[in-house]
Amino acid sequence: MNTPNKSGWKPEVNAPEDGMHAGPETVTGNRALMLDEPLIFELADNMATGVDLPEPASNAPSRLGGMERADAFGLPGLSEPEAVRHYTRLSRQNYAIDLGLFPLGSCTMKHNPRLNEKVARMPGFADCHPLAPVHTVQGALGVIHELGEWLCKLTGMPAVAMSPKAGAHGELCGILAIRAALEARGDARKVVLCPESAHGTNPATAAFAGYEVEDIPATGEGRVDFDALKARLGPDVAAVMITNPNTCGLFERDFRKIADAVHEAGGFVYCDGANFNAIVGRVRPGDLGVDAMHINLHKTFSTPHGGGGPGSGPVVFSEALAPFAPLPFVEQRGDSFHLVEEETAKADHEQSFGRMTAFHGQMGMFTRALAYMLSHGADGLKQVADDAVLNANYVLRGLDDLLHAPYASSGPCMHEALFGDDGFEGGLSTLDLAKSLIDEGYHPMTMYFPLVVHGAMLVEPTETESKASLDQFVAAFRNAAERAKAGDESMMQSPYYAPRRRLDETQAARKPVLAWQEPDET
């Protein structure tokens, strides 16, 4: 077999001069079970239909009020088998966590236990309507309340807002609470500091909230430069937004010292909790001096990125910010649960900055997350963090002898391993290596982020991968890295075995073709 393996690639077989895949061409465009699926418009007959509808009576009155169709819509018509096959074939062109390891760094694409899916689909949760009377959704409100209690205990924070719908939405929630707290004391601060190692959404969120954003440099070992941060603190600094563990895959060891300095200067500390998976059960952010932190339920607590619905980014608050948290929230009164909203808010919630969204609306995420917590327990969640860190370090040490690992000497990494493209020959780039991984059957890792590392390759295996799956991934990665360092020009044409070759991703983003048009046969 002429297949990629650890002993080396054979470009004369797998990368022929014409740039096409090896082997004979086929009439269908398919390659074995890798199907070349046309657009649905190319498959369909506009006159066909998958159902038989009775002809309307000739004298039947129209109910369309003069809005009857004048011309054919041009919509595709398929039989039922054709429609099912089309979408099944398309689904096979997607890469998913159920197919293999998903190495996207800073994304925490972990396996989602099927138990959680079963719970999310239980009647009373799956069909819960946001406008249902409160007395009819006591179970759903109880789930929200219990989940909030878990988040407070795990973070060591006294209050939580459950309504933010994603990580960046949670960031905005935290920053708006900080702004409300500053306005309440008549303190018009205008600057938010963001270290180089923070997530890119941090400065975007601060700017969206009306703040000026300033960068704080990193040290040579990839952590926040404390001296530079302290020197910049002053009466104009509203907050510091720090990702911990940071995007270089490192824990910010000076976090408590940073928080104390920021508080002494009159500012607040926002922690990006997207990487909480590495420290859940091990570190309580409240003990580090955090004032606000969002938690991606769809990362740390089992539902990978939009699986089955929207994300969810609850925000935990310190005592200083709790009065300014958004509405609505769930409150337990005796044996029942109540939804505290503007019209029923108690006096101690009058400082709330308002709503982030009309409703909570993420029951699927709430039920999955709580099921995950209850099935693991406190000790199990601690093991989640331990295993996630262990797996990331296993990948780091499996590749750092071959790839540039800029912070390998800074000690063990946390949830993700970071590499650069130093040593690639022949004009090859990180993009070429990533496309070659597709030929190996893997979705590429996160590329060119963080920006502090040239040609960055960020890999987060999470805790749900076995040693066997990590060994296979590392072997594939090593093979691609060896080719890149040898200047194998055939990588510039990868992927060879994907349903589509290299796309113009820039044009696809800037000038997408969003509508089907019949080809001009003239």
Q: How much is the CA Rg of the chain, to the nearest whole Å?
A: 27
| In the predicted structure, residue 267 carries a pLDDT above the cut 90 | yes
pLDDT at 2: 37
pLDDT at 20: 45
pLDDT averaged over the chain? 88
pLDDT at 49: 77
pLDDT at 23: 54
pLDDT at 15: 41
Q: Tokens in use for 265?
A: 């200067």
Q: Would strands 237-243 and 268-272 be described as parallel, antiparallel, or unpaired?
A: parallel
Q: Which residues pair with 404 in a beta bridge?
A: 420
pLDDT at 433: 97
What gap in Å lies between CA 510 and CA 108, rounded to an integer?
Answer: 28
Q: Which runs of E-coded beta strand occur in 212-326?
A: 212-216, 237-243, 268-272, 292-294, 315-317
pTM, full prediction: 0.88
The share of the chain scoring above pLDDT 90, in percent, equals 65
Kindly report which listed range (26-35, 194-203, 296-305, 441-450) carries the lowest average pLDDT score: 26-35
pLDDT in tens, 132-178: 999 999 999 999 999 999 999 999 999 999 999 989 999 999 999 99
Kindly report which listed range (111-120, 136-145, 157-166, 380-389) carries the lowest average pLDDT score: 111-120
What gap in Å lies between CA 104 and CA 416, rounded to an integer?
Answer: 9
Burial of 499 (0-12, 13-18, 19+ CB in 10 A): middle
Indicate the pLDDT class of residue 5, thresholds 50, 70 and 90. very low
Kindly report which listed range (69-78, 189-198, 232-241) carries the lowest average pLDDT score: 69-78
pLDDT in tens, 87-99: 999 988 888 888 8
CA 305 to chain centre: 5
pLDDT at 325: 95
pLDDT in tens, 28-57: 677 666 778 888 988 887 777 778 888 878
Q: Which residue has the higher pLDDT, 477 or 23?
A: 477
pLDDT at 306: 52
Residues 400-423, mean pLDDT to the nearest whole number: 94
- For 224, phi then psi, to 5°, come to -60, 135
pLDDT at 189: 96
Q: Tokens in use for 487?
A: 């200047």
| CB-based contacts of 171, cutoff 8 Å, min separation 6 | 201, 202, 205, 241, 270, 272, 294, 313
Q: Which residue has the higher pLDDT, 108 or 3?
A: 108
Q: Which runs of E-coded beta strand occur in 93-183?
A: 159-161
pLDDT at 179: 97
pLDDT at 10: 39
pLDDT at 17: 43
Contact between 277 and 108 under an 8 Å Cβ cutoff? The reply is yes
pLDDT at 1: 36
Burial of 247 (0-12, 13-18, 19+ CB in 10 A): buried
pLDDT at 336: 94
DSSP calls for 309-361 = S-----EEE-TTTGGG--B-EEEEETTEEEEE-GGG--GGGTT---BSSS---
Domains along the sequence of the chain with CATH: 115-372 (3.40.640.10), 377-496 (3.90.1150.10)
| CB-based contacts of 168, cutoff 8 Å, min separation 6 | 201, 204, 205, 313
pLDDT in tens, 185-224: 999 999 999 998 888 899 999 999 999 999 999 999 999 9
What gap in Å lies between CA 6 and CA 505, rounded to an integer?
Answer: 30
Q: Would strands 457-459 and 446-447 be described as parallel, antiparallel, or unpaired?
A: antiparallel
pLDDT in tens, 271-287: 999 999 999 999 999 99
pLDDT in tens, 470-501: 999 999 999 999 999 999 999 999 998 888 88
| In the predicted structure, residue 406 carries a pLDDT above the cut 70 | yes
Gap between the terminal Cα atoms of the chain: 46
CA–CA distances in Å: residue 423 to residues 9, 291, 402: 18, 42, 9
